[in-house]
Amino acid sequence: MIWRNIISIADLTNDEIEQIFELADSTHQLRADKVAAGRIMATLFYEPSTRTRLSFESAMQRLGGSVVSCSDMKSSSTAKGETVADTAKVVSSYADVLVVRHHWDGAVQAMAEHADVPMINAGDGSHEHPTQTLCDLYTLKKEKGDLKGLTVVICGDLKNGRTIHSLVYALARFGANVVTLAANGMELPQYVIERLQREYQYSLAPVASDDLRAVVTETDALYLTPKQPHQLALFTQMDSAVQSQLATMVSGLRYDAFYMTRKQKERMKEGTTGGSYPTIGADFLRKQRFKDTVVMHPLPRVDELSPEVDKDRRGIYFKQAAYGVPVRMALLKFVFDRMDGKAKPAKKTVQWFQSPDPFGPQCSNANCITVTEPGSATKKFEVLSNGPGAALLLRCSYCDHRFKVQLIGHAKSKRYCAYDISLADTLKDWLKKHELAIFNSIKEAEELGYEPYKSGPQRTIMDDVEILAGVRELSQQIARDCSDLDRLLILGIRSKGSYLAQRIAAELEERQKRKPEVGEVEIYGSGEEIRRIAPADAEMAPMVLKDRTIILVDDVIYTGRTVNSALSIIFRSGRPQSVRLAVLIDRGHREVPLKPNYVGKHIPSSERERVRVKLREVEHDEEDKVVIYSIIGPTEA
Ligand code: NCD
C-alpha cells in the first residue's frame, strides 16, 4: 500500500495545504461524518509536548477515532535501548497512523522508512515541525487574507527553532517575504538561507535597524525576498561606497506579523545560552508602525512576550494554538483519504546519492539520525554540484544540513579525482547510472582500490619568496588604511584564508608591536560559523563584529561566491563598520560583482585550469607555492 507521510512541509504542495485549510473550515462536517471511526492513532513523544500531542489526540477523538499514546518514552522500551527503527516497526502494527516527536534531526523520517502506516512529524530536533506550520499559515490566512506578499518577521532563536525552519520554506513557497530578527548567535542557519536561494530564488538585504528598535536585539535584521534589493556588490575600493550601500538598506517595510519564538535552551551547548534576547512588549504596541502587526508564537513562551501583549488585539497566539485542533483534524482526514494506495508523493523527486562503497560521506550534523543511530537510517544525499565557490555539496536527506566534499570517483573504472565545476555534467551522468562514488579522503579512495585520474603538468607561478612578499605587501597596505588596531579584525575564510589571515596578523604585529584580533569564518559547516583564532583564550567573551573594520582574507578569488557566502554570514552576525577584502590571488572570472581591496597578484587563467595555493600549514613538509595546471578529467583521461 502507498500512503502519504508528513515529515517535512515539502511533503505537501501549496494546493494540498489550501485543501487542508478548506477542510479545517468545515470541521463540524468531519465530526458528523466520523471520518476516523474504527481507526487508531498512536502518539510517540520522545520530547515534552502540551499543544501538539493533546491537539492531535483531541482531533482524532473528535473524528470518531481512538488513540494509544506514549507521552513519556522513558517508560517505554526506548529506556532498554530499543532503536527508533524497531519501535516504529512494532507500533505501526498497533495503529493506523503514527504521530512522532523526537529530539534527533531526521529521526521521524528514519522511523517512516520502517513503519507500515503513515507517519506524521510532530517535531524532529531542530529540523522541522510541519504541522505547526500548517497552524501558523492557517492563522495568518485567517488574520491577513492572502499569504502572498505578506512580510513576516521571524524572531528569536532562528537557529534551533524547528517551527521557524518549516515556516520560512512555506512562506517562501507562498510568496511571502521574511525578515529575520535573531538573538545574537541564534541566526537562521546558512543551509536554510542557501535553500531559500536555491529553490525559491530568495535574496538577502539588511533592514534599516531603526525600524525594529522596539524589539531589542543585537544582531541585524535581514530581509529575505524573491525580488531585489540585493546585498551583492558590497565590496568596492572605497569604504564610503560600502557605507552608502549600507545606508540604502531596506526601510519602510510593512510588517504584517511578528513570529516570536522561545530560546531552545535544551538544544544548546552549555554556556552558549547567554546574551540578550528579543522581546515584544509595551514599546512595540505603542508604535504606530506596528498598529496592524499581529504577534504570533508557537508556544510555550518563556519571557519573550510581556503580559500587555496578551490583552492586546494583536496578540493572537492563543487563537493560533486553538486552531491546532481543526487544522490537525483536517490533516488526519487528508492522510486517511490518501491511504487507498493511489496517492503520489508531493515532494519533488530528487535523485539521491547513496554510496556504492562502505563508509562513504558522513553528514556533518552531530544531531542527525545518521550519526546518532546510523543503524536506523540509510544515508542518502542530494548532490548539489554548484554550491558557493563552485563547490560540490551534499545535502542530507534526513536533516537538510549540507556539507562540502572534494573527492569524487567513478565506481566502474575505479578512478578518483578532485571535484571541479567542469566535471558537473560527468558527475550527473555517473549519479544517474549509480556509478558515482564520493570520498572523505584520498586515503579512503585508495584503500577502496581507486586510482587517480590525471592532471596536466603543474607550473609553479609563485614561489615561497614571492608569497612572502605578497603577504607583506597586503599587510603594508592594510596597516596604511587601518591604523585603529582596536577596531581591526582579520577574518580568514577557512581553511587557507585562515592561515593567510594569521600570517597577515603576524606581519602587522611585527610592524605595530601589537597583535590584531584574528578570526575565521567557516562557510560550509553546520556548527559555529565565525570563531576567534587569536588571542587563543577560551575564557574570552564571544567575538564582536559590531562597528569593526573587518579584513576578510582568502587565498584565491575566482567566481566570488565563496566571499559572498562569508559576507552573508558576517552580516547575519553583526554590523561591522566596514568590510574589506584581501586575497593573495585574483584569477578573474567573477560571477558576483565583487572587487577585492587588496590583491597580492593578478593571475589571468582559463576556466579549465586549477590554481592551487599550497601552504606549509596544510601541506606540512612542502614549501609555500602556487601552482597552476589544467585538468585532464575523466572525459579525456
Ligand atoms: C514548539 C516545538 O515543540 O517545536 N512547540 C509547539 O509544538 N507548539 C516550539 C517550542 O518548543 O519552542
Report pLDDT digits (tens) over 530-575: 999 988 877 777 788 988 999 999 999 988 888 988 988 888 888 8
| Ligand 1 atom showing the smallest separation from residue 324 Cα | 8
For ligand 1, atom 12: residue with the closest CA: 262
Q: Is the pLDDT of residue 368 over 80?
A: yes
User: How far apart are the CA of 215 and the centre of ligand 1, in A?
Assistant: 21
Q: What's the CA gap between 202 and 224, in Å, rounded?
A: 6
For ligand 1, atom 7: residue with the closest CA: 52
Q: Which of 9, 45, 52, 297 to mutate to test the pocket of ligand 1 (most atoms within 8 A of CB)?
A: 52
Give percent of the chain above pLDDT 70: 91
Average pLDDT of the chain is 88
pLDDT of residue 238: 31
Nearest to 111 by CA among 398, 538, 449: 398
pLDDT of residue 157: 94
Report pLDDT digits (tens) over 457-481: 889 999 999 999 999 999 999 999 9
Residue 75: how many other CB atoms lie within 10 Å: 9
pLDDT of residue 573: 81
The three cell numbers of residue 565 are 557566502
Report pLDDT digits (tens) over 70-101: 878 887 888 788 999 999 999 999 999 999 99
User: How far apart are the CA of 637 and the centre of ligand 1, in A?
Assistant: 54
The three cell numbers of residue 415 are 578512478
Instruction: Select the more confidently predicted residue: 22 or 444.
Output: 22
Contacts of 135 (CB under 8 A, 6+ apart): 298, 320, 321, 323, 324, 327
| Ligand 1 atom showing the smallest separation from residue 52 Cα | 7
User: How far apart are the CA of 155 and the centre of ligand 1, in A?
Assistant: 14
The three cell numbers of residue 10 are 515539502
Angle at CA of residue 626, ends 622 and 627, nearest 5°: 100
Q: What's the CA gap between 613 and 627, in Å, rounded?
A: 7
| Ligand 1 atom showing the smallest separation from residue 122 Cα | 7
Q: What's the CA gap between 100 and 338, in Å, rounded?
A: 19
For ligand 1, atom 6: residue with the closest CA: 298
Q: Is the pLDDT of residue 594 over 90?
A: no
Report pLDDT digits (tens) over 304-359: 999 999 999 999 999 999 999 999 999 999 999 998 665 566 666 889 999 988 77
Asked if residues 436 and 407 have their Cβ atoms less than 8 Å apart, the reply is: no
CA dihedral 379, 385, 388, 394 (to 10 degrees): 0
pLDDT of residue 231: 36
Asked if residues 622 and 398 have their Cβ atoms less than 8 Å apart, the reply is: no
Q: What's the CA gap between 317 and 261, in Å, rounded?
A: 11
| Ligand 1 atom showing the smallest separation from residue 162 Cα | 4
Q: What's the CA gap between 175 and 93, in Å, rounded?
A: 40
User: How far apart are the CA of 307 and the centre of ligand 1, in A?
Assistant: 20
| Ligand 1 atom showing the smallest separation from residue 163 Cα | 4
Q: What's the CA gap between 587 and 610, in Å, rounded?
A: 10
Helix (H, G, I), strand (E, B) or coil at 404: strand
Report pLDDT digits (tens) over 105-127: 999 999 999 999 999 999 999 99
Nearest to 30 by CA among 64, 1, 6, 2: 64
Report pLDDT digits (tens) over 195-234: 888 888 887 776 766 777 778 666 667 777 765 433 333 3
Contacts of 580 (CB under 8 A, 6+ apart): 235, 239, 478, 481, 549, 550, 551, 552, 597, 598
Domains by residue range for the chain, with CATH? 9-127+323-339 (3.40.50.1370), 131-321 (3.40.50.1370), 352-452 (2.30.30.20), 459-630 (3.40.50.2020)
User: How far apart are the CA of 482 and the centre of ligand 1, in A?
Assistant: 46
pTM over 0.85: no
User: How far apart are the CA of 262 and the centre of ligand 1, in A?
Assistant: 9
Report pLDDT digits (tens) over 506-533: 999 998 888 899 999 988 765 678 999 9
User: How far apart are the CA of 52 and the centre of ligand 1, in A?
Assistant: 8
pLDDT of residue 295: 97
Per-residue pLDDT, averaged over 394-421, amounts to: 92
| Ligand 1 atom showing the smallest separation from residue 47 Cα | 3
**Secondary structure tally for the chain: helices H, strands E:** 20, 26
Report pLDDT digits (tens) over 168-190: 999 999 999 998 888 888 889 98
- The confidence band for 235, taking pLDDT boundaries of 50, 70 and 90, is very low
| Ligand 1 atom showing the smallest separation from residue 264 Cα | 12
Q: Is the pLDDT of residue 385 over 70?
A: yes
**For helices 464-481 and 496-512, angle between their N-to-C axes, nearest 10 degrees:** 60
Q: Which of 129, 259, 297 to mutate to test the pocket of ligand 1 (most atoms within 8 A of CB)?
A: 129
Per-residue pLDDT, averaged over 230-253, amounts to: 44
For ligand 1, atom 11: residue with the closest CA: 300
- The confidence band for 103, taking pLDDT boundaries of 50, 70 and 90, is very high
Cβ < 6 A, ligand 1 pocket: 51-52, 123, 129, 132, 162-163, 261-262, 298-299
